[in-house]
Amino acid sequence: MLTLAWTFLKIGLLFFGGGYVLIPLLQHLLVEQYQWLSLREFLDGVAISQLTPGPLAILATFTGVRVGGFGGGLVATICIFAPCVVLMLLVGRYYTRLKEIDLIRITLDGVLPAVVGLVASAAWSLGATLGNLRQWLVLVAAFCLFRFTKVSPMLMILGAGLLGMLLP
Amino acid sequence: MIDPKPDIIAPVRVSLWEIFTLFLKVGLTGFGGGMAIVALTERMVVKEKQWVTPEEFLHGLAFGQILGPFSLNSCTFVGYRLRGVPGGLLAAVGFLLPSFLIVSLLAWLYLRFQHLALLQKALAGTNPVVIALILAVVLDMGKKQIKGRNDWILALAAFAAAALFKLNVALVLAAGLVWAFGTAVYRRRLV
């Protein structure tokens, strides 16, 4: 349980530049390093966390429940969100006087291309879970829908789940 | 302490309970994620309740985007501006609580019924969609964030390090940060 808390606290400190940096980070830590989840479970967890209004980091709850039941979920959730809540409270206090902010902003903007590369690498390893041609076709179709329409991820995931149940 | 700009005080003192329930509502109804939630929050706290000014809200959002999950961060920020630390904490908890409960319940159901054939099939159906979503994000972010040769090198290097050489993702990210900080300082000297 302590490892769980510490791990999610570390992750909470690391995520900036949008929630999606979490996908490669979590995939590496949870699947490869600690082996708390299999690749399949990781993907299922992402699907489940996309069904809620919360940020992607709510995936921590899923992992916590998997590792340590309801208590584990609570610990993981608190730990992953604590750093950014605390930072945001500090910002609320001092934001009129943060002068070095442009340097921080330029640095964080500068690292974003690396984030893009890392997120792509997560998609690369997750692609290993796809077995048959039909899944690849669904992937291409879903990609086009995300690109060219404004369908929400939640609806897409629910729809894909239903289709998966109904099709032989 | 003298602030250059004095804090904008809300016309009515907002109760902590009001803050909590408002963000609970955001957390319960804000489906669509990310910017959809920010838009909903803005409509509720700036336009309807007039708790904070539009400028203040935008400042909070700008910082929120730097510090990770900006939907959560803008809630925390508004709560803090209204009632200090308790306000910020209650706003954050209120916003996260519905999602936390939904995911806990779904995770429990998932672990219990993981082996049911029907659920297996449903989840297998969602897997390619999740990967497609990640790819769409890559393309979208790439279009916005990768400009010029240096950015391409950084992106490809990060991809190769993580996907092909299996280096620790956190380390790659830290290296990218050091690199970006160095370039930022260097560019600033030139100006």
| Backbone torsions φ then ψ of B177, nearest 5 degrees | -65, -45
pLDDT in tens, B101-121: 999 999 999 988 888 888 888
Instruction: Check CB contact under 8 Å for A161 and B126.
Output: yes
A155 to chain B: closest CA residue: B32
Distance CA A131, CA A94 (A): 52
Q: Which positions in chain B touch A160 (Cβ < 8 Å)?
A: 125-126, 128-129
Min Cα separation B162/chain A (Å): 6
pTM for this prediction: 0.79
Distance CA B47, CA B80 (A): 18
Looking at the predicted complex, does its ipTM rise above 0.90?
no
A138 to chain B: closest CA residue: B128
Q: Which amino acid does the sequence have at A86?
A: V
Instruction: Check CB contact under 8 Å for A103 and B179.
Output: no
Interface test with B, best of A6, A85, A155, A156 (most B CBs within 10 A): A85
Q: What single string gives the DSSP state of each residue in B133-146? A: HHHHHHHHHHHHH-
Instruction: Check CB contact under 8 Å for A88 and B135.
Output: no
Distance CA B70, CA A84 (A): 10
Distance CA A88, CA B139 (A): 29
Residue A151: how many other CB atoms lie within 10 Å:
12
Going through chain A in order, the beta strands assigned E by DSSP cover none
- Range with the poorest average pLDDT among A14-18, A137-141, A162-166, B139-143: A14-18
Give me the sign of the Cα torsion angle B92, B98, B100, B103.
negative
Report residue A109's pLDDT band, with 50, 70 and 90 as the boundaries: confident
B 61-120: CB under 8 A from A: 63-73, 76-77, 80-81, 85, 88-89, 92, 95-96, 98-100, 102-104, 106-108, 110-111, 118
pLDDT of residue B56: 82
B148 to chain A: closest CA residue: A113
pLDDT of residue B191: 58
Report residue B79's pLDDT band, with 50, 70 and 90 as the boundaries: very high
More confident residue, B38 or A105: B38
Mean pLDDT score of chain B, rounded to an integer? 83
Instruction: Check CB contact under 8 Å for B77 and A91.
Output: yes
pLDDT of residue B32: 63
pLDDT of residue A99: 52
CA distances from A146 to A130, A143, A157, B131 (A): 19, 5, 12, 11
| Partner residue opposite A24 with nearest CB, options B89, B136, B169 | B169
Residues ≥6 apart with Cβ < 8 Å to B177: A107, A111
Instruction: Check CB contact under 8 Å for B63 and A88.
Output: yes
Instruction: Check CB contact under 8 Å for A119 and B177.
Output: no
Q: How confident is the model over A62-90, as a mean pLDDT?
A: 91
Distance CA B51, CA B40 (A): 14
Contact B34, B71 (CB under 8 A): yes
Q: How confident is the model over A80-95, as a mean pLDDT?
A: 85
pLDDT of residue A96: 66
pLDDT of residue B3: 43
pLDDT of residue B1: 39
Ranges of each domain in chain B: 16-111, 115-190
Contact A57, A80 (CB under 8 A): yes
Give me the sign of the Cα torsion angle A21, B75, B40, A46.
positive
Ranges of each domain in chain A: 2-129, 131-168
- Range with the poorest average pLDDT among A82-86, A146-150, B101-105: A146-150
Size of interface A-B (CB pairs under 8 A): 344
Residues ≥6 apart with Cβ < 8 Å to B44: B22, B25, B26
